[in-house]
Amino acid sequence: MMTPALEIHHLTFAYPPGQVALRGINLRVMPGEHVALVGPNGAGKSTLLLHLNGLLSGDGEIRIFGTPLTPKTLQQIRRRVGLVFQSPEDQLFCPTVYEDVAYAPCYAGLPPQEIAQRVREALQLVGMQDHAERSPFHLSLGEQKRVALATVLVMQPDILALDEPTAGLDPRGRRELSLLLQSLPQTLILATHDLELVRQVCPRTVVLEGGMVIADGPTAQVLSDPAFLLAHGLA
């Protein structure tokens, strides 16, 4: 059998001093799957994403392509799992867009020529190739979000986890991002309230509520029942 890209067993986590955010999450995602993570505010979506590359660490087990996530494997796993945060200012800190996108490949010690090529490709993918020399702080929110995505794509992660990627984007920005996400061959985990995006990008949807998985199945099925959507804060 093919090794899953992501396996989560009985993951439980509480923020100090005791705010329980995840209660026994089990999840298996196969390579190349595009999975949506939906649920009301406070359901635990962001908390779950922060566990995927060890930024938070709860009780239970996480395996990335079969490798358990432990302090020993953390560096190796961070190269395979790219996390795009909800607010781009958490991800951008250099004087220029180019430097921000080049930061991770520089840090990883890639050769300069490869860095330049990867940065060009990543900026092209998100449609920001003409803004390489601008300051990220003078870009619009939508542009910043695209650069933040490029800073992760540039490392060519096998798993891409995005938190609210369309929040704050205008309709055209949304459409372009949706098309880009649909085209990505990577395993994709998308935490969002944007059900239209979910229908466009993710054949599978997982619903979280109160830190638990309360539904997991084909998107068309999971999102088809208006009463279910209403009951769980999704509509």
Ligand X SMILES: Nc1ncnc2c1ncn2[C@@H]1O[C@H](COP(=O)(O)OP(=O)(O)OP(=O)(O)O)[C@@H](O)[C@H]1O
> Under the rule (CB under 6 A), what is the footprint of ligand X?
15, 19, 21, 39, 41-47
Q: Which is nearer to ligand X, 41 or 75 (CB)?
A: 41
Query: Is residue 235 a contact partner of residue 223, using CB atoms and an 8 Å limit?
Result: no
User: Least CB distance from residue 204 to ligand X, whole Å?
Assistant: 18
> Token pair 């880009």 is at which residue?
180
Q: Which is nearer to ligand X, 17 or 111 (CB)?
A: 17
Dihedral sign from CA coordinates of 63, 67, 202, 175:
positive
User: Least CB distance from residue 37 to ligand X, whole Å?
Assistant: 8
Q: What is the 8-class DSSP label of residue 43?
A: S
User: Least CB distance from residue 138 to ligand X, whole Å?
Assistant: 27
Vertex 123, ends 120 and 128: CA angle to 5°? 130
42 φψ region: left (φ > 0), alpha (ψ -120 to 50), beta (else): left
Q: What tokens were used for 147?
A: 């650069």
User: Least CB distance from residue 19 to ligand X, whole Å?
Assistant: 4
- Locate all alpha helices (DSSP H) within 6-73, ordered by sequence: 45-52
Q: Which is nearer to ligand X, 45 or 80 (CB)?
A: 45
Q: Which is nearer to ligand X, 24 or 42 (CB)?
A: 42
- The neighbour count for residue 232, using CB atoms within 10 Å, is 18
Q: Which is nearer to ligand X, 19 or 117 (CB)?
A: 19
Using DSSP, state whether 193 is helix, strand or coil.
coil
Instruction: HSE, CB side, 13 Å, CA atoms: give it for residue 71.
Output: 0
- The neighbour count for residue 75, using CB atoms within 10 Å, is 9
User: Least CB distance from residue 234 to ligand X, whole Å?
Assistant: 11
Q: Which is nearer to ligand X, 30 or 56 (CB)?
A: 56
User: Least CB distance from residue 72 to ligand X, whole Å?
Assistant: 26
